[in-house]
Amino acid sequence: MSSLATVKDTVTTAGTAELETDILVIGWGKGGKTLATTLGSQGRKVTLVERDAGMVGGTCINVACVPTKALVHRADAVRPGDDPDAAVASAWDFRDALTSKLRDANRAMLEDLDAVTLVQGEARFTGERTVEVRPAEAADGDDDGERLTIRARHVVVNTGTTPLRPEMPGVDLPGVHDSETLQLQMDRSRAPRRAVVVGSGPVGLELASMLAGFGAEVTVLVRGEQILPDESDAVRDSLVEALQDRGVHLATGASATGFAEADGGLRVDLEEGEPIAADIVVLATGRASTAQALHPAAAGIELDEKGFIAVDEHLRTSAPDVWAVGDVNGGPQQTYISLDDHRIVTGQLGGDGAYSRADRVAVPTTVFTTPPLGSVGMTAEQAREAGHEVKVASKPVAKIAAMPRPKIEEDAHGVIEVVVDAATDLVLGARLHCVEAQELVNLVALAMRADVTASALRDGIWTHPSATEALNEVLGELS
């Protein structure tokens, strides 16, 4: 990546430089880098600014989706009798090698485009579509440092989010991690024997399942009385059973009040009940916007009540010719949503501009526990509240005779639940807790977008043995 001193196409005077560009992208996330690649390949003059060399390619490939799923994969490969310390060391080495390879590929993807200029440093708005960039380590320091002023016709903000660490005693102790520092700073020489996960959302449950796979006794602190309160009882019970069988304890109605060093490890103090001993603590308490660090007010960019950049359906901010894509705009925090955001903005910058967030339907999600939980559309309760008369097909995976794949993979945990409109036979939603759910949910989502009926899915000819075959049997039970 270019440093400030070697940025191409700049005018440099007395330690400062100026750059004019057509499109300025701030942040190397999925949406921003794809937009830069697309428009740069068309010959549009694009400048991309990234503050951290370790985040080239974005959060997903460096500290989120890809490396965490790599660790989940390695955890699932651990067998009784394996050395947990060796398994953890090998898994983290694999993670590092993978992210390094992906960073190099992402850097090369843009460096090879003549129309794209790459800048490493901290960007802050100083005016309308104007930013000042300084080396990240000096951004809050001496005003006499090296700097670059960039003026653009169009600006796309893609700076993402950062883990939210609650303010409580001991939160900065060694061994108290968030989802990112767990990967980057955890002691890899010894597998944790005891882990406490604070938070029971998708990230917390994924990390709890992964740590249990490496042999840790895991306790998840659940603030409410149950996990996934919006799901049906069958889906929730299925996930709880799988987690418990893996060795995860779900402590409901439990809230941490602080952390302290004790007996060579950590002590987790609770609002009620006895403290819990742990080797590590993982904070899975949400993510916060990074927008404020950009000094958005200087550019006329308004934030919402949670600190995210406020955007309309076309991702336009309150400032003319400024868009926000990815997590920083407060939308769903998923890489594929950021990718779709780039389509919206690319349409604004070079297409007909018609496509918007309102056009998104049947967007799937997956919680990568073991086995994963894929979800799309409405639950039965949500469908009824929306005015539909529904039929529900639900069956435990272990009882689906036409679906041998889970038995082959030695994990028959799970349930498959499909909600169908009784009048139209169209699928309104599905919950797929089973092996390969992350793939199966995409098929169901496509069927929903294309108005494929439940009967057509029921009568589909699917490869054998696959998870998809469950649709033949489960949907066959609809009355």
Residues marked active site are found at: 464
Dist. CA 300–CA 244, nearest whole Å: 50
Which element (helix H / strand E) includes 399?
A: none
> Does the annotation flag 327 for ligand binding?
yes
Question: Who contacts 268 (Cβ-Cβ below 8 Å, separation ≥6)?
Answer: 196, 198, 221, 256, 259, 275, 276, 277, 278, 281
Which is nearest to 182 in space by CA: 161, 211, 154, 153? Answer: 211
Sheet arrangement for strand 373-377 = 365-367, 373-377, 427-433, 415-421, 390-396
Which element (helix H / strand E) includes 252?
A: strand 248-252
DSSP sequence for 1-41: ---GGG-TT-EEETTEEEEEEEEEEES-SHHHHHHHHHHHH
Dist. CA 39–CA 349, nearest whole Å: 9
> Does the annotation flag 204 for ligand binding?
yes
Q: What is the CA radius of gyration of the chain?
A: 24
Dist. CA 339–CA 65, nearest whole Å: 14
Residue pair 323/315 in contact (Cβ under 8 Å)? The answer is: yes
Collapsing DSSP to helix, strand or coil, 267 comes out as strand
> Does the annotation flag 206 for ligand binding?
yes
> Does the annotation flag 199 for ligand binding?
yes
> Does the annotation flag 286 for ligand binding?
yes
The token pair that represents 338 in the structure block: 């950021």
> Does the annotation flag 201 for ligand binding?
yes
Which is nearest to 58 in space by CA: 372, 302, 358, 341? Answer: 341
Which is nearest to 180 in space by CA: 314, 287, 75, 76? Answer: 287
Collapsing DSSP to helix, strand or coil, 343 comes out as helix
Binding residue positions: 69, 199-206, 286, 327
Binding residue positions for FAD: 69, 327
